[in-house]
Amino acid sequence: MLTLVTGGTGFTGSHLVRRLLARGHTVRVLDSSPGLFANELRDAGAKIEIGSVTDEDVVNRLTSNVEQVFHIAAVFRQVNLPDSTYHEVNAIGTRIVGEAALRHNVSSFVYCSTQGVHGDIKTFPGNENSPIRPEDYYQQTKYEGEQEIAALVARGLPATTLRPMAIFGPGDPARFLFLFRAAKRGHFLMFGDGETLYHPLYIDNLVDAFELAAAKPGTGNIYLIGDAQYYSLNDLVQAVGTSLGRAVRIIHLPFQPLWLAATACEAVCQPFGIEPPLFRRRADWFRQNRAFSIEKARLGLGYEPKIDLPTGLAATANWYRQHGYL
């Protein structure tokens, strides 16, 4: 099957591309940068083009004759960009990719959104009907992307939207690395009581969900995708320590000074185009609850997470060691 994966050289997209190639699919990749994996994926047979999902000509050309599209590309974690860039890529870019897919009559379209559209979950476990309360420009524009997809579904696009939890696994040099480095040191600074709930998602489980979603007729359904269980931050940190064979001492500190420092850091760095080492979205990790039911995905997609947290953390730790991150 001829497949287009946007964002295919990034952490999430590269795992999907590898899976698709292993299945024997022909894979086109559109990404704004080569990332860590472009050469590896080219060697494996992927056809990679560096470009933007906002470039209508490029998107239209790459979508020609394609049977399925996985739209993963997004601006993420780049604090020194204007909010308008997030809107242009995450919302308008999603419309451009979706319109091209509709024009070329693809058989399935899977949009990768985020559980972050629900913001801080007040009643848990949350589900797909929990209030939409995005708390930053990334979450807001991903939800705008969902709205673009809904409008295209009404015109006939066979689309399914996935809202992944906190993705982690081998190949990710960002999301969980600070946890592993702290665990290796043997202590972790926890801002707040550490009872905030966190819902991890091992990358292979997410790729399973991508495949299941593409195999079902897309009718605009939305599914939250996560591992089978969510954890308190205290328990997550200890689980990371266990994966490294280290006991971790958790040192609890008040949250408010961290939030003020993050706000100040952003204010100082942004006028100079500097990526701040600390920012509010990172600080929010310590206080925003992320805990959801995955029952709808179980029933609607046949999704069942196969990799549990200890197994996923062990594989991630091995990758970090092998590539010199620890």
d(CA 110, CA 214): 6
Classify each residue of 243-266 as buried b or exposed e, where b means 16 or more C-beta atoms within 10 Å of its C-beta.
bbebebeeeeeebeebbeebeebb
Check whether the bond before 125 is cis (ω within 30° of 0).
yes
∠ CA 70-105-164, nearest 5°, is 20
Residue carrying the six token digits 């970090």 = 320
Tally Cβ neighbours within 10 Å of residue 294: 26
Distance of CA 182 to the CA centre of its chain: 23
Distance of CA 261 to the CA centre of its chain: 26
Spell out the domains of the chain, with CATH numbers in brackets: 2-172+200-228+291-307 (3.40.50.720)
Q: For residue 297, what are the CA distances in angstroms to 196, 217, 227?
A: 24, 14, 11
Task: List all residues 6 or more positions away from 166 whose beta carbon is below 8 Å from its beta carbon.
Answer: 175, 198, 199, 200, 201, 290
Position 32: which residue type?
S
What are the DSSP calls for 49-75, one per residue?
Answer: EE--TT-HHHHHHHHTT-SEEEE----
Q: What pLDDT is attached to residue 278? A: 82
pTM: 0.95
Q: What pLDDT is attached to residue 100? A: 98
∠ CA 298-304-157, nearest 5°, is 55
Q: What pLDDT is attached to residue 274? A: 79
CB 196 within 8 A of CB 228: no
Residue 103 in tokens: 């024009």
Average pLDDT by stretches of 10, the chain with 326 residues:
97 98 98 94 97 98 98 81 86 98 98 96 95 92 98 98 97 91 96 97 98 96 98 98 97 94 86 79 90 98 98 98 94
Q: What pLDDT is attached to residue 80? A: 61
Q: For residue 70, what are the CA distances in angstroms to 44, 90, 171?
A: 19, 14, 19
d(CA 111, CA 141): 13
Measured in degrees and rounded to the nearest 5, phi and psi for residue 280 equal -60, -35
Edge-to-edge strand list for the sheet holding 108-112? 47-50, 26-31, 2-6, 68-71, 108-112, 159-164, 222-225
d(CA 258, CA 280): 9
